[in-house]
Amino acid sequence: MILVLYDGNGFVKFSFLVFYTESRSLDRDFAGEHELGYQTGSYRLLVARTGYRTGNRLTLMGRASQGFDWRCVILLCLDAISLRSTKVENAENQSFSAPVIITLNAKFLMLFTHARFRSSLHRGLVIPATPLALNAQRRLDERRQRALFRYYVAAGAGGLAVGVHTTQFAIRDPKVGLFKPILEIAKEEFARGDAKTKEPLVRIAGICGATQQATAEAGLVREHGFHAGLLSLAAMKNATEDELIAHCRAVADIIPVVGFYLQPAVGGRVLPFSFWRRFAEIENVVAIKMAPFNRYQTIDVIRAIAESGREDIALYTGNDDNIVLDLINPFRFQVNGKTVERRIVGGLLGHWSVWTRRAVELLADCHVAGQNPDSVPTELLRRNIEVTDSNAAFFDAPNAFAGCIAGLHEVLRRQGLLEGIWCLDPNEGLSAGQAEEIDRVYRSYPHLNDDAFIAEHRDEWLA
């Protein structure tokens, strides 16, 4: 099947889904909301491919059974572009002016991009938690913020997390007012990055606060084209489990949710097995980031997902203190008399906001080792210690993580991507001796940094 759309816009590449329905009353039949599936109501997914533009000709290529009445086709664009179709042709050059729907309605965009980005999540990705670039006046340095996004894309990250702990939760303070500007810059840089990657970047944004704030943020990040929200429960320390689940459901009604187990030392709360077992029953949960920095609590989450039977929830490590072992260990549990194995497939990590090129290589090595866990290379086990030791310096572990964000800024400053280590809070900076610890891990593990890669491309990203 080849469909050709004529369009006057100038977009180089976009992605699409083609659905077929038995009815020609598309406006009527497509009204309302439909749950996503490969067979959904009277709609059948035919094609999910990529389109390319030549002049004003947008060509969609893929295969489908013969004999379809193209007046019964629904075409949904998956990228944030606006198409104006004037004519549709099939492979035999027959033209149709009959109803072909091209929609970017936010609700439908959420539903119909769901399967695609879930597939990417399940492959396992490097997803850096993005820092905030500030100048000496502690105002947004847009040039360097964009350079950070470009660095992560060039380094091979499969997605980015924006507006999260590493970005500093204070960006939401009305006096700061940087949450929406960061989302807007990210949206532009995602589009730029997608033009250079084989697969669209996974877009995740942090969602915080009590239910009223969280649902408002969910709507905002969805409007900016993000695929999912990383849901922090830090603001609900005194909420009951029932209240927490209701809160999560309210957000999941708006946007797919990535659960977030944040360690109490940096503002999180303890979330027991019972919470995660109930959390797994929320249909629109797509992944969980585990960052309790605690083996018992990490296992609680994975066991809850194993017992739920949900194989469609991707597991990501946020345990910067145990990255490699999280990624290579099989987690096996007895569920109803059967052995169920789950794996952590990728990382959504503050630690991976620095030395990202090496993080991409590390994840690839972990995926290879995971295929044969009975013979994990000794070198990979050594690297686990090296990465954890480096993280202790970056995150300021000896001082209860007081300098965890400033430590990442310091690495990026040394690499020339940030001008300084400024945080929104003037009292937040490096702890005594932290700079010397960063010096030490730089000397001890030179193979872990990507300074040469950054030096080669930095001026390009800053342009």
pLDDT single digits (tens) 36-63:
222 233 333 333 333 333 333 334 433 3
pLDDT tens digits, one per residue of 400-449? 999 999 999 999 999 999 999 999 999 999 999 999 999 999 999 999 99
Average pLDDT over all residues of the chain: 81
Cβ atoms 207, 217 nearer than 8 A:
yes
Q: What is the pLDDT of residue 40?
A: 30
**406: enclosing H helix or E strand:** helix 404-414
- Cross-strand partners of 273: none
Greater model confidence, 443 or 110 = 443
**171 in the same domain as 58:** no
Cβ atoms 207, 232 nearer than 8 A:
yes
**238 in the same domain as 292:** yes
> What percent of the chain has pLDDT above 90?
68
Greater model confidence, 135 or 59 = 135
Is pLDDT of 396 > 60? yes
Number of domains into which the chain is organized = 2
Give the integer Cα–Cα distance in Å for 265 and 51. Answer: 47
Confidence category of residue 116, pLDDT binned at 50, 70, 90 = low
Is pLDDT of 316 > 70? yes
The position carrying tokens 């096996």 is 332
Cβ atoms 127, 346 nearer than 8 A:
yes
Greater model confidence, 167 or 6 = 167
Q: What is the pLDDT of residue 373?
A: 73
Angle, nearest 10°, between helix axes 404-414 and 434-444? 50
Is pLDDT of 98 > 80? no
Q: What is the pLDDT of residue 119?
A: 82
**211 in the same domain as 94:** no
Nearest Cα neighbor of 319 from 327, 310, 331 is 327
**170 in the same domain as 64:** no
Nearest Cα neighbor of 245 from 277, 197, 292, 267 is 277
Q: What is the pLDDT of residue 268?
A: 85
Nearest Cα neighbor of 390 from 317, 326, 323 is 323
Quote the domain boundaries for residue 329.
Answer: 114-462
Cβ atoms 16, 75 nearer than 8 A:
yes
Q: The pTM is what? A: 0.78
Pairing relation of β-strands 13-20 and 73-77? antiparallel
Q: What is the pLDDT of residue 12?
A: 27
Please identify, among 104, 133, 164, the residue that sits at the C-terminal boundary of a domain: 104
**329 in the same domain as 231:** yes
Please enumerate, as own/partner, the contacts of 376-382 that have beta carbons within 8 Å and a separation of 24 or more: 376/328, 380/324, 380/328, 381/324
Nearest Cα neighbor of 160 from 353, 289, 360 is 353
Mean pLDDT of 91-99: 37
CATH of the domain at 244: 3.20.20.70
Whether 109 is covered by a domain: the verdict is no
**154 in the same domain as 131:** yes
Confidence category of residue 35, pLDDT binned at 50, 70, 90 = very low
Please enumerate, as own/partner, the contacts of 234-239 that have beta carbons within 8 Å and a separation of 24 or more: 234/169, 234/208, 234/262, 234/267, 234/268, 234/269, 235/208, 235/209, 235/210, 236/210, 236/269, 237/269
